[in-house]
Amino acid sequence: MYISPRNELSEFRRRYRWMRLFVFLTFLIFVSRLVYLQLVHGDEYHEKSMNNVIRTVSLPAVRGRIFDSKGRVMATSMPSHTLVAIPHYVDMGEGFARLVELLGLDEQEAEAIAAKLNDYRKDSKDMRRFQQIALLESMAPEQLAAVKAHQDELAGIDVVDEPRRYYPYGEVASHVIGYMNEVNGDDIVHANDNEDIADKYRAGDLIGRKGIERSFEAELRGIRGWRKKVVDARGLPLSREKVEGLLPDASMQEPSPGYDITLTIDVALQKLTRQALSGHPSSSAVIMNIHDGSILAAVSRPSIDSNKMTNGLTYAEHETINENPYRPRIDKTVYENYFPGSVFKPFTAFAALEEGIVTPEDVFNCSGFHEFGGRIFKCTHSHGDMTMYDALVQSCNVYFYNLAEMTGMDRIARYAGEFGFGQKTGVGYNTEATGHIPTREWYDKNFPGQFRIGHTLNASIGQGNTKVTLMQVAAAYSALANGGTLYQPQVVKSIETPDGEVVKEFQPIIKRRVTVSKHSMDLVMEALAGVVEDEEGTAHSAYNESVSIAGKTGTAQVVKQSRKKGDTMADFYYRNRDHAWFASVAPIENPEIAIVVLVEHGGAGGEHAAPVGVEIARRYFDEIAPRHEAPLLADSPDNNQTDVRVPVEDSAPTTASAHKR
């Protein structure tokens, strides 16, 4: 049979099997690849694909509120809306123009926002372009409405609700309350290292910086929640029906709000204390319940509105604050060390009395100065013959020089230490200074061979190397007035859930019972009453017969300064004037509160600090806790501290006048 050459298929015939093999092997590669992608690594890719479409939006937790002891709101969170963007997904052309239009921004504002976005977008390798950044804080209601309504035109743009901190009383208790600002790198690192902090901080979060906001950050903060939402590659949210099945079962975690905190501070008292101090630009005061150590008011002037600090200061404001010579940032009640001056004398007296070195009746003559070791130690003037009562009432230094000479530095230090001097009080907010009570050992260590008895003389009147804080003085005078129980000062009464359920109730903490006899304490209390009531008393000029108050004045020398360039004469005199102290308890019978006042560069304590203390006491009894009515603090229904202080009440000092000579 003839076969046409065109039908000559033998050339092809043996090629087909190789073709089939080649084709088969090639397809085998694809099937293997599918096995690899879908079966072997399917889980990984599935997760990646979920991350593609599911964006987790964090829901901020509502920070706990801070109340004063009467339930007044001192810090709360107000709703606020922040415009955020993921720069990568923002359409910088039409989309951005639409955004500017919807927000009603002027050219300058629009440019600033565009610049911020472009900064994140400029480098395509920079993964920050996928980070959510804030574009506009505290959006106006109409801006919020416009953006919400046109969300589908604004790729990559979103609004988050971020509660803003608000302090209704502004600067009234700003040193105690503190303020908040944005976390920094250290905060984030610290939080990451700390296993107790489950909800890690992220850039842009606020954190308590000072005061209670800082100390109780963990309690106040709450735990943020999250919501997962499905978006497409452009960051536009997709409707429910389109995303069915894509979202994991748990698509939302409600945030849990932080705990509320109730302070022992009474805003009304805090306010009137500030008013009493208003004539003194740089001054401070602490008012403490002597029966449990709770702080009723703690004022440090000047102060800065917590709202301002939290919302951010302008550069100019920042500069003004830093240049303010009265140091508004510093909480003078706990952070600042002062010479106590004569406020310290009761504790020198205790050392001498308890060690049996003098009796109250022993008399020393004051001729206006005391000569020791070739040096002259001055008194204010010549007081003549002084008993202990006289010496305390009239604040005679010479009497105490004599006492100190006989008692010695270490004994004074021991009694001062019993009353909490030289140790942090543990009040629990803001940075606390330790103060300092010098001892022989301390001198030997730090100034070998230089110790002189003269140092003891200075120490005895609260000068030299003796340093205290207001908080220490308040705690010590409370102990002195309550029969010898030294409490740890506390400013927080309780922690509650937002619904008001008490999580933790702070009980009084007794640091120790001092070993000073009731007799000695009664004697000193009697003398403190005399300071105000006696005509000879250093605070008698502040005496108000309607106010029952016993206290000790102090005039703490300041380090003399030469006149600086640019100082006015007034500045120069101001800075060289002594600090004025008044440490007191009131009322004299059954004392309730300790009031400690310090006026920086005020001059003599009796003239400049005592009137403030007396004024505070007067208004306290008029406005806060009127006499012969309900006892202090007992008016709040959940208060059980009256019970707690029972053990110390039976040892409370009795009438001081019985011991008057």
Output Rg (C-alpha) for the chain, integer angstroms: 36
Rounded distance between C-alpha atoms, residue 400 and residue 362, angstroms:
12
Q: Choose between 244 and 643: whose C-beta lies nearer to another protein.
A: 244
For the CA atoms of 15, 16, 17, 21, the dihedral, rounded to the nearest 10 degrees, stands at: 100
Contact indicator for 515, 278 with CB cutoff of 8 Å: no
Give least dist CB 44 to another protein, A.
7
Nearer to another protein, 26 or 568 (CB): 26
Least distance (Å) between residue 238 CB and another protein: 7
Please count the other Cβ atoms lying within 10 Å of the Cβ belonging to residue 441. Answer: 12
Q: What is the identity of the amino acid at 160?
A: V
Considering beta carbons, is residue 1 or 646 the nearer one to another protein? 1
Least distance CB 97 / another protein (angstroms): 21
DSSP 17-75: HHHHHHHHHHHHHHHHHHIIIIIISHHHHHHHHHHHHEEEEEEPPPPPPEE-TT--EEE
Q: What is the C-alpha separation between 144 and 158, in angstroms, rounded?
A: 10
Nearest approach in angstroms of CB 1 to another protein is 9
Name which of 242 and 318 has its Cβ closer to another protein: 242
Q: Say how far apart CA 135 and CA 102 lie, in whole Å.
A: 14
Check whether the bond before 587 is cis (ω within 30° of 0). yes
245 vs 566 by CB, closer to another protein: 245
CB of 39 to another protein, least distance (A): 6
Please compute, for residue 583, the number of CA atoms within 13 A of its CA located in the half-sphere on the CB side: 33
Q: Which two tokens stand for residue 98?
A: 């639409």
Nearer to another protein, 195 or 244 (CB): 244
Q: Tell me whether residue 246 or residue 558 sits nearer to another protein (CB atom).
A: 246
CA 2, 5, 7, 13: dihedral to nearest 10 degrees?
110
Task: Catalog residues that contact another protein under the rule CB under 8 A.
Answer: 2, 4-16, 18-20, 23-24, 26-27, 29-31, 33-35, 37-39, 41-46, 48-50, 52-53, 124-125, 230-234, 238, 242, 244-246
Q: What is the nearest approach in angstroms of another protein to the Cβ of residue 488?
A: 56
Report angle CA 456, 458, 549 to the nearest 5 degrees.
Answer: 115
Q: How long is the chain?
A: 661
> Minimal CA–CA distance to 350: which of 183, 111, 135, 514?
514
Write down the least CB distance from residue 248 to another protein, Å.
Answer: 13
Tell me which DSSP letter residue 173 carries.
T
Min separation Cβ 128 and another protein, Å:
13
Q: How far is the CB of 117 from another protein (least distance, A)?
A: 17
Spell out the alpha helix ranges (H) of 161-264.
174-177, 185-193, 211-215, 217-221, 240-243
| Residue (16 or 315) nearer to another protein, CB | 16
Decide whether 128 or 518 has the Cβ nearer to another protein. Answer: 128
State how far Cα 165 lies from the chain centre.
Answer: 15
> For residues 53 and 321, which CB has a smaller minimum distance to another protein in the complex?
53
Choice between 151 and 640, CB closer to another protein: 151
Do 294 and 491 form a contact (C-beta atoms < 8 A)?
yes
Provide the pairing of β-strand 260-263 with 66-67.
parallel
- State the angle between helix axes of 470-482 and 518-533 in degrees (0 to 180), rounded to the nearest 10: 110
Find the shortest distance in angstroms from Cβ 26 to another protein. Answer: 6
- Cβ-contact 62, 129 below 8 angstroms: no
Q: How far is the CB of 233 from another protein (least distance, A)?
A: 4
Q: How far apart are CA 384 and CA 617, in angstroms?
A: 32
- Closest approach, Cβ 253 to another protein, in A, equals 23
Q: Pick the closer one to another protein by CB: 18 or 315.
A: 18
